[in-house]
Amino acid sequence: MSVLGRRTNPQGAPAHARRVPPGPPRSRTPVLFAKLIRDRLGLMSQAAEEYGDAARVRIGPKTLYIFNHPDHAKHVLADNSANYHKGIGLIQAKRALGDGLLTSEGELWRKQRDAIQPVFQHKRIARQAGVVAEEAGRLVDRLRDQAGGAPVDVVHEMTALTLGVLGRTLLDADLGGFGSAGGAFEAVQDQAMFEMVTLNMVPTWVPLPKQLRFRWARRYLHHVADDLVMLDRVQGGDDVVSRLMGSTLQESDGRVRRQRMDDELITLLLAGHETTASTLSWAFYLLDRHPQVWERLHAEAVEVLGDRPPQLEDLRRLTYTDMVIQEVMRLYPPVWILTRQAQRDDEVGGYHVPAGSDVLICPYTLHRNPAFWDAPDAFRPERFEPEATTERPRYAYIPFGAGPRFCVGNHLGLMEATFALALACRDLRLRLTPGRQVVPEPMLSLRVRGGLPMTVHPV
C-alpha cells in the first residue's frame, strides 16, 4: 500500500471554495511522520509520483505544500519571492547559524548580501583561478599518494579540497588548522534536521547525544569565527572578513557586532564548502558506475590540459566536464530542497496557499520531472549540450536556487568542481569499494551517507 494513501481533494465542495492541492488523508499522519524521519527523499518522490505537480501533505500540526513544476518554482522563488521567507529546516538551523546570509530576512539580508557580493564578483573569482588550480593539484597529489593502498574516503578528501579553496580565495586564511570543522558542521546539520522532523517537539535541553554534540559544535564554530576575525585584524586585506567587519561597524553594541560577524562567518564556512564537496563526491560515484563517461572526461582533460595545471581560459574549453557536473547536480542537487513560509495568502499554480503555510520546492524531484526530462533517472551528460537546453523551461533546473536568493558562490563552486574533476580524471581513476551501498542523505545539503570509500588507480 502507498505510504501516502489514497488521493483526496475537496470534490463536491462549493464552487466558490478555494482550490487546494490533492494529498493523503490526515489519518496517514503516523506513517507520514515516520517517512519524514527515515526517508525524506522517498516522501518527496512519492508525493510527486502520486499527486503530480502539487500536493498537500498534513503531518501533525504541519501542512506542507509541495510544488513540483518550473512555473511554481518561478512564482515562489522569483516572481513573488517577497512573500516567502525561509522555512522549515532553515528556521531550525538558525540556532547554529544565527542570522547569517542563509537564514536572515528583509533589510538585514539585503545589507549582508550587499556587503559580501563584491567578493564573489566574476572578475575577482577569475583572479583566483590559479589558487583553485593549486588546491585541485594538491588533491590529486594526495590521492595519488594513496594509489594501490586502502580505500580513501572521497567525501573527506573533497571536503579538504573545498575548505582549502574557501580559506585561500575568500578568507585569506589556512583552514587546515581547523580540522574539526567538518565534524562540527555535520553536527549542526544533524540537529537542524532532527528539530525539523520532530517538529520541534523535543526540548533542546534534553541531553540526547545528538543535542550534546550540537552544543559542542556551536561552541567550536564560534571559536573558529573568532580566530578568523583576530587573524584578519593582524593581516588586513580585502577578503570576506574585512568586508563583514566594515559592514558591522554601524552596530553600537559590541556584543551584537560580534554575534553578526560569527553568524556570517559560520554560514559562509558551511555553505562555501559543503555543496561543492557533495557535488564532487557524487560525481566520482557516478563516474565509477558509467566508465564510458569517465573515458570521455579523461580524453578531454588530456586534450585540453596536456600535462599542465588548468587555467581560467580552460573553463570554456572543458565543455564535456561542465556537462558532467551539470548532470551530477541534476540527479543529486547539492541543495535538494528549498523551504519557504508564506507570509500572506497566495495562489500557486491555481492552488490556494494560506498565510503561514510551509511551501516546499524540491529540486531533487523537479530535476526528475518526466514532463521535462527524458528517462529522468538516467545519467546522461548530453542533456546539457547547448542545443539540448534551448527549449527546456528555465526553472526546470535550479541547482543553485533561483530568484533574489540565488547562490552567490556559484561561479567559484563551478570553477572548483571543473578543475578538480578534470585533473583527477586526467591522472587517476577512482573505483568504489565492492559491495558498498551508496545512499543519499538529505540534510541541509544532499550528502553521501557514511562517506564514500574508493580505491585510487593511476591512469
pLDDT digits (tens, 9 = 90+) for 144-180: 999 999 999 999 999 999 989 988 888 777 877 776 7
Distance between CA atoms of residues 154 and 112, nearest Å: 33
Is the predicted pLDDT of residue 344 greater than 60, yes or no? Answer: yes
Is the predicted pLDDT of residue 258 greater than 80, yes or no? Answer: no
pLDDT attached to residue 394 = 94
**Mean pLDDT confidence for 247-267:** 73
pLDDT tens-digit map of 104-117? 778 877 877 777 77
pLDDT-derived band of residue 185, with 50, 70 and 90 as boundaries?
confident
Closest to 64 in 3D by CA, of 87, 80, 84, 83: 87
Q: What is the mean pLDDT of the chain?
A: 86
Distance between CA atoms of residues 180 and 178, nearest Å: 6
Distance between CA atoms of residues 348 and 53, nearest Å: 11
Nine cell digits for residue 172: 585569506
**Mean pLDDT confidence for 73-98:** 83
pLDDT attached to residue 16 = 45
pLDDT attached to residue 1 = 46
Which residues are registered as beta bridge partners of 339? 360
pLDDT attached to residue 292 = 98
Distance between CA atoms of residues 338 and 90, nearest Å: 9
The region of weakest confidence among 35-39, 87-91, 280-284, 422-426 is 87-91
Taking CA atoms, 66 is separated from 18, 52, 197, 343, 347, in Å, by: 17, 10, 16, 16, 13
pLDDT-derived band of residue 331, with 50, 70 and 90 as boundaries?
very high
pLDDT attached to residue 381 = 98
pLDDT attached to residue 252 = 66
Of 424 and 37, the structure prediction assigns the larger pLDDT to 424
Is the predicted pLDDT of residue 251 greater than 60, yes or no? Answer: yes
pLDDT attached to residue 124 = 84
The region of weakest confidence among 6-10, 191-195, 297-301, 325-329 is 6-10
pLDDT-derived band of residue 93, with 50, 70 and 90 as boundaries?
low
pLDDT tens-digit map of 116-137? 777 788 888 889 999 999 999 9
Distance between CA atoms of residues 418 and 407, nearest Å: 17
Is the predicted pLDDT of residue 300 greater than 90, yes or no? Answer: yes
Taking CA atoms, 362 is separated from 40, 240, 445, in Å, by: 11, 30, 12
